[in-house]
């Protein structure tokens, strides 16, 4: 029985490996026409820095897969600003570049000589990011990250939720727009699911950020449970209570989103593939007793591609 289970597991992984490789090959040809272009840069950028989103883009309908890769590469570039900048002035300069680049795209000026900017300009020329909603989403992602970069700490959980909504929910709203499935209900689901994903990202990133003396956990939640910033930076076990509260809030957003998604048409529900992954990550955190420093919570999920493929098949 055990041998049979192992064989089935290996067989499934092999199918996924071949399928993913084939899909990647096809996507690469579609995006780049076989050449080393700006589109190839975008594909590699998302794959390197946001593998979860990379898989999500691969599993999205071919009709708007390319557009999704572009906006997720844009998100990667914004998220890397603070990590690559050695000081605050440098990050301010990089944010100024992206502001000017977006302004140029929407003013009809010649796009800047940057692969992501060129591809965003291509989406604009095709009328895919010309609506007020898509324009607002792109600017909101930029402005929220720029404002967040000036903070030394997060004051409240609400502040962190708002940041999550402005970044992660904006990506979901763009996906819905590309799929032509943007409605009051689907946008509402995107708002909640984005907040869930943003809170989870903050929890998962905490061990890395503490190594750089940075912190995303909100001060009001820490104070409520008698935890200091020093406790978090030193990775003490007392952090579990604040983590539980933040994870519970994320779970509440996920439940609300799932309730709405269940009523949406299949074409719209496919934009919410990450809901299944967020549910799994919350389960893993619970199994680790809400210890975000636990190796089982922090280790790379080697079956992530399989989980996402399975979730995609169920839609």
263-273 confidence digits (pLDDT tens) = 999 999 999 99
- Show the DSSP H helices in 211-299 as ranges: 219-224, 229-233, 240-261, 266-269, 274-287, 295-298
pLDDT at position 190: 98
Q: Which two tokens stand for residue 308?
A: 């996402």
Q: Which two tokens stand for residue 293?
A: 């420093």
3-state secondary structure of 20: helix
pLDDT at position 8: 43
pLDDT at position 149: 85
Cβ contact 134:64 at 8 Å: no
| Tokens 């210890």 found at | 291
pLDDT at position 92: 87
Packing angle, helices 2-32 and 38-49, rounded to 10: 150
What are 53-74's pLDDT values in tens digits?
999 999 999 999 999 999 999 9
Percent of the chain that is helix, strand, coil (3-state, to 5): 75, 0, 25
pLDDT at position 36: 52
Q: Which two tokens stand for residue 266?
A: 């299949």
- Which residue ranges of the chain lie beneath pLDDT 70? 1-36, 84-89
d(CA 121, CA 123): 5
pLDDT at position 34: 47
Set out the domains of the chain in order of their start, with CATH numbers: 151-315 (1.10.600.10)
């Amino acid at each position: 029985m055990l041998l049979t289970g192992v064989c089935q597991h290996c067989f499934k992984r092999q199918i996924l490996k071949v399928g993913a490789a084939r899909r990647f090959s096809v996507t690469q040809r579609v995006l780049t026409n076989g050449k080393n272009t700006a589109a190839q840069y975008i594909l590699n950028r998302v794959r390197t820095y946001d593998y979860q989103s990379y898989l999500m883009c691969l599993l999205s309908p071919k009709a708007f897969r390319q557009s999704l890769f572009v906006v997720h590469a844009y998100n990667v570039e914004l998220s890397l600003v603070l990590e690559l900048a050695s000081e605050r002035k440098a990050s301010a300069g990089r944010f100024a570049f992206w502001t000017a680049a977006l302004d140029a795209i929407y003013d009809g000026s010649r796009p800047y000589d940057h692969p992501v900017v060129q591809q965003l300009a291509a989406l604009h020329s095709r009328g895919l990011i010309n609506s007020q909603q898509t324009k607002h989403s792109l600017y909101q992602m930029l402005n929220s990250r720029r404002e967040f970069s000036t903070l030394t700490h997060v004051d409240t959980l609400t502040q962190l939720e708002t940041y999550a909504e402005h970044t992660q929910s904006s990506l979901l709203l763009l996906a819905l727009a590309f799929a032509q499935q943007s409605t009051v209900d689907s946008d509402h689901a995107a708002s909640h699911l984005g907040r869930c994903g943003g809170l989870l990202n903050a929890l998962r990133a905490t061990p890395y950020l503490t190594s750089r003396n940075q912190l995303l956990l909100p001060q009001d939640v820490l104070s409520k449970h008698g935890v200091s910033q020093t406790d978090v930076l030193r990775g003490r076990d007392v952090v579990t209570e604040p983590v539980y509260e933040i994870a519970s809030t994320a779970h509440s957003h996920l439940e609300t989103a799932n309730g709405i998604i269940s009523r949406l048409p299949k074409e719209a529900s496919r934009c919410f593939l990450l809901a299944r992954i967020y549910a799994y990550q919350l389960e893993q955190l619970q199994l680790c007793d809400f210890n975000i420093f636990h190796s089982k919570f922090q280790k790379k999920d080697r079956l992530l591609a399989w989980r996402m493929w399975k979730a995609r098949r169920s839609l």
